[in-house]
A and B are shown apart, each in its own frame.
Chain A
């Protein structure tokens, strides 16, 4: 199965977005610490999700069959993590860890981070999980 992915330069775009968000937050903090969060928070969240999406959906410099199998394995792990995270939250097992229900942003952002973490662990064989071509 051939995955349709964004070109490699989208990785740079995502890093630029993250840098802009950080710069923007620092600038806002310095210029006016009492600025209402109603406008900034959604903008920052959308920017971070967009940057994460561009990063995980863009090709590596050499996107070959091994990388694609690592990618598919990481997507599956991240998706399972998303379900587990929801089940744990919903069943209140670890309710002492969080005061309120996590937002959709937190679910998606955690999954993106988990995907990136597993992708690089598998790519550089830090963990010896055998990857087989999904076709």
Chain B
């Protein structure tokens, strides 16, 4: 699953630390999501979307391999 969390975070003027604090996770979690090592759960994805004032599908995009 692809995501453009980094771009959206930077567009909102947030650091990894401040975004992590806003959604109550560790900075490592934000780093792992941005580097696409970790796919967040639905509640966390929704929280991220709300903080970044966007929709979940604007942050995360399914890839072909996700359908297999």
Contact = CB atoms under 8 A, between A and B. Distances in A.
Interface of A: 60-62, 64-67, 69, 123-125, 128-133, 135
A62 B26 contact: yes
A65 B20 CA distance: 12
Contacts of A65: 25, 29, 40-41, 44
Given A64-B25, A64-B26, A133 B31 contact: no
A70 to B, nearest CB: 9
Interface residues of B, number: 16
B35 interface: yes
Contacts of B28: 66-67, 123-125
B37 interface: yes
